[in-house]
């Protein structure tokens, strides 16, 4: 069992690494250091950036939105994309392709993928256009699966580094050239080091969860050299993190967190120290959506949102008036700062 002092230390270090107790600068730098910003809902990117003090001017085009770890959408610095995609093992990279192939035949799906690329070279970019073009050649079930609103064939092409969304808010696609230049084995040690530097203290299990690494590959992680990192032992687990001499500051009394915030979704469920178990169902819905939250002294204590350009705040337990007032002020500040940016 982790003692309270150790848990506090872990939360403190994570908040420092994830720019929740210090200010970031450029959006691209933030996305680079945090290995991408979760963008299942595109407005979570400016929310996350503003909370961390980053400049969001030009955010719609300064990052590239595509499918990465665990099939989730992230906004990333384009130059990082080949390394991120190299982390997809053959199994995970072809996962969606395999499902489509089993359902409709590998030859059919390969033909469709090739034709999609050819049509994109001719200027076709929207899912609606593709559905209309292919509907004259394939059954409705094939069209629904291949051009699903959840991604379909575009997930497969994106994981190959061939396709990405036009920008952070668009539903249309562009051809890109971000094919991995290195192997999974070559990239993995570097990505692990970056993960533990930003997200640590964290365990190998946390890293495997974050990157969606297969169980077989996860067994190899303890054998990878992680020079320059520190470690601590707690509850029978080994945690890795960055410079132990860094001035990490204190845990802020009040912190806003974005939807799908890294400090919530980037660790295995049993290592989400900032999300008390009793509030999990209020924050992570059955649909998988993770709501924007409010952390008091480093732990989630409520949720917030913006509806009809007005702040909406709900605490799970009574809070001091100064905390309630401060939350409304911060949400109103975000509303003012994103006006015209989304």
Q: What secondary structure does DSSP assign to 245-280, as a single string? A: TS---PPPSEEEE-TT-HHHHSS-GGG-TTS-GGGH
Chain centre distance of CA 269: 16
Distance CA 21, CA 248 (A): 8
Contact 28, 254 (CB under 8 A): no
Nearest-angstrom CA–CA distance, 62 and 29: 11
* pLDDT of res. 95: 57
Between CA 126 and CA 287 the distance in angstroms is 26
> Do residues 20 and 51 touch, judged by C-beta distance below 8 A?
yes
Count the alpha carbons within 13 Å of 271 in the hemisphere toward its beta carbon.
26
Q: Which residue has the tokens 């990117």?
A: 45
The model's pTM is 0.93
Angle between helices 321-338 and 44-51 (to 10 degrees): 120
pLDDT-flagged residues of the chain (< 70)? 1-2, 89-97, 340-342
The DSSP result for 103-128, as a single string, is HH-HHHHHHHHHHHHHHHHTT---HH
The β-bridge partners of 305 are 312
pLDDT digits (tens, 9 = 90+) for 103-137: 889 899 999 999 999 999 999 999 999 999 999 99
Under a CB-based contact definition with an 8 Å cutoff, are residues 197 and 242 in contact?
yes
Which of 93, 111, 90, 212 lies closest to 159 in space, CA to CA? Answer: 93
Distance CA 101, CA 203 (A): 35
Residue with tokens 């950036």: 49
pLDDT of residue 2: 63
Measure the CA–CA gap between 317 and 312, rounded to whole angstroms.
Answer: 16
Question: At 295, is the secondary structure helix, strand, or coil?
Answer: strand
Residue found by looking up tokens 């051009």 in the block: 147
Adjacency order of strands within the sheet including 73-76: 37-38, 73-76, 64-67
* Tokens matching residue 341: 């940016």
Task: Return the pLDDT at 90.
Answer: 42
Give dist(CA 205, CA 267) in Å, integer. Answer: 8
- Torsional class of 168: left (φ above 0), alpha (ψ -120 to 50), beta (otherwise): alpha
271: exposed, middle or buried (Cβ count in 10 Å: 0-12, 13-18, 19+): buried
Write down the pLDDT at residue 341.
67
């Amino acid at each position: 069992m982790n003692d309270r002092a150790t848990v506090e230390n872990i939360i403190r270090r994570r908040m420092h690494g994830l720019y929740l107790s210090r200010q970031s600068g450029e959006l691209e730098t933030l996305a680079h250091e945090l290995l991408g910003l979760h963008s299942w809902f595109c407005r979570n990117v400016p929310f996350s950036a503003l909370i961390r003090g980053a400049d969001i001017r030009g955010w719609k085009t300064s990052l590239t939105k595509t499918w990465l770890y665990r099939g989730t959408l992230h906004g990333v610095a384009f130059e990082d994309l080949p390394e991120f995609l190299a982390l997809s093992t053959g199994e995970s990279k072809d996962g969606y392709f395999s499902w489509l192939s089993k359902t409709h035949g590998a030859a059919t799906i390969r033909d469709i993928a090739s034709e999609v690329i050819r049509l994109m070279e001719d200027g076709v970019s929207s899912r609606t256009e593709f559905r209309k073009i292919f509907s004259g050649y394939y059954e409705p079930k094939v069209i629904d699966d291949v051009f699903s609103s959840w991604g379909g064939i575009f997930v497969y092409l994106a994981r190959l580094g061939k396709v990405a969304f036009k920008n952070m808010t668009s539903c249309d696609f562009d051809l890109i050239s971000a094919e991995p230049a290195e192997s999974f084995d070559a990239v993995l040690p570097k990505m692990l080091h970056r993960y533990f530097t930003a997200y640590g203290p964290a365990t190998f299990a946390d890293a495997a969860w974050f990157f969606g690494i297969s169980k077989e590959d996860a067994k190899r992680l303890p054998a990878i050299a992680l020079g320059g990192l520190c470690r601590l032992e707690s509850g029978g687990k080994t945690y890795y993190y960055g410079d132990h001499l860094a001035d990490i500051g204190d845990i802020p009394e009040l912190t806003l967190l974005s939807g799908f915030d890294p400090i919530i979704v980037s660790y295995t469920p049993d290592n989400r120290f900032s999300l008390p178990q009793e509030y999990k169902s209020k924050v992570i819905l059955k649909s998988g959506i993770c709501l924007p939250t409010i952390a008091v002294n480093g732990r989630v204590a409520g949720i917030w949102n913006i509806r009809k350009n007005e702040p909406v705040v709900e605490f799970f337990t009574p809070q001091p008036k100064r905390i309630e007032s401060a939350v409304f002020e911060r949400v109103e500040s975000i509303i003012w700062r994103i006006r015209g940016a989304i």
